[in-house]
Amino acid sequence: MSALSAPTARPQPRPHHPHHPPYASRRLWSPRLRRRLAADAALLVVAAAFVLPLAWLVLASVDGEATLRLSAPGSPTLDNFSAVWTDEITFTPMLNSLLLCGGATVLTVACAALAAYPLSRFRSRVVRPYLLTVLFTTCLPITAIMVPVYGLFVQVDLVDTMSGTALFLAASQLPFAIWLMKNFMDGVPVILEEAAWTDGASWLQSLTRVILPLMGPGITVVMIYSFIMMWGNFFVPFMLLLSPEQLPASVSIFTFFGNYGQVVYGQLAAFSILYSTPVILLYVLISRRLGGGFALGGAVKG
């Protein structure tokens, strides 16, 4: 019989030793799988750290005898919402917050766009040091500058005014807004702006009619970030606003903490849900634009 037609010998399976686990079992508990299970367990712990406070917030808002313990209410009720659903507790502070944070957000976005334009379009040796200086100002704690700011506001008669408080809130969010706006503006091709210049447009017209419309998602991100940071700011309006009728919701929530450590937890949870509603609605309404990216498809063709 030739060598080509000779049958080949098949390898015999190795006998399983009783003291060694089978190969499938060793593969099931491989180091890679153990690391993945450990990472999943760590993520579950982090998720629980975020979910448990939210679960307490929802359950305590419908509990007439809410405490700090996380427990289902015996008889759910809406009395907590009825107690805070008043002009003095909810509507007036929420309106003040909308006016204060909305005006400051518009001012922040406008100033950030004007400041980011020369940083994105012109090359200079002072651009990088300037950006690093702007980044450094974001690291300063707000409590470290409130004393001189308060003294300045007293001298220029801006204490207890909504306009002065909105101006300072916009100034405090402006450094990081400039960073974000510049990064988004760098994604717009310069050739589009040069085409607008060829047609006789000025730099301000090219900024408002060409660049800003194309970086709509970037402006949305800056707007949402600035609005959320201002919406939850307690210290600045607490220091600069004195009249109770001008206090925003971030400061009026302090009234739920009574004397001698007594807190109305049910009403506090109900007010917190109402206080978070405008921010959630803002994100839901414009979340589609956040994932759309820059609409530059076809803009540079031809």
Per-residue confidence (pLDDT) for residue 230, from 0 to 100: 92
Record the tokens describing residue 114, joined without a space: 């004007």
pLDDT of residue 301: 42
Rounded distance between C-alpha atoms, residue 269 and residue 101, angstroms: 22
pLDDT at 259: 55
pLDDT attached to residue 169: 93
**Total residue length of the chain:** 302
* Alpha-carbon span 159 to 239, nearest angstrom: 9
Q: What is the reported pLDDT for 98?
A: 93
Cα dist from 75 to 63, 83, 151, whole Å: 7, 17, 52
Q: Convert the pLDDT of each residue in 229-263 to its tens digit.
A: 899 889 899 989 988 889 999 898 887 776 555 77
User: Could you give phi then psi for residue 249, rounded to 5 degrees?
Assistant: -65, -30
Residues of the chain under the 70 pLDDT cut:
1-29, 258-261, 288-302
- Are the beta carbons of 285 and 226 closer than 8 angstroms? no
Q: State the pTM of this model.
A: 0.76
Would you call 106 exposed, middle or buried from its count of C-beta atoms within 10 A (0-12, 13-18, 19+)? middle
Rounded Cα gap, residues 9 and 221, in angstroms: 68
SS (H, E, C) the chain: CCCCCCCCCCCCCCCCCCCCCCHHHHHHCCHHHHHHHHHHHHHHHHHHHHHHHHHHHHHHHCCCCCCCCCCCCCCCCCHHHHHHCCHHHHHHHHHHHHHHHHHHHHHHHHHHHHHHHHHHHCCCCCHHHHHHHHHHHCCCCHHHHHHHHHHHHHHCCCCCCHHHHHHHHHHHHHHHHHHHHHHHHCCCCHHHHHHHHHCCCCHHHHHHHHHHHHCHHHHHHHHHHHHHHHHCCCHHHHHHCCCHHHCCHHHHHHHHECHHHCECHHHHHHHHHHHHHHHHHHHHHHHHHHCCCCCCCCCCCC
Please, are residues 185 and 192 in contact by the beta-carbon 8 Å criterion?
Answer: no
252 Cβ neighbours under 8 A, 6+ residues apart? 89, 93
CA 243 to CA 251: how far, in whole Å? 12
Determine contact, residues 249/275, Cβ cutoff 8 Å: yes
Q: In this predicted structure, what is the pLDDT of residue 237?
A: 92
* Tokens representing residue 155 in the block: 């001298």
Query: At what angle are helices 162-185 and 127-137 packed, to 10 degrees?
Result: 140
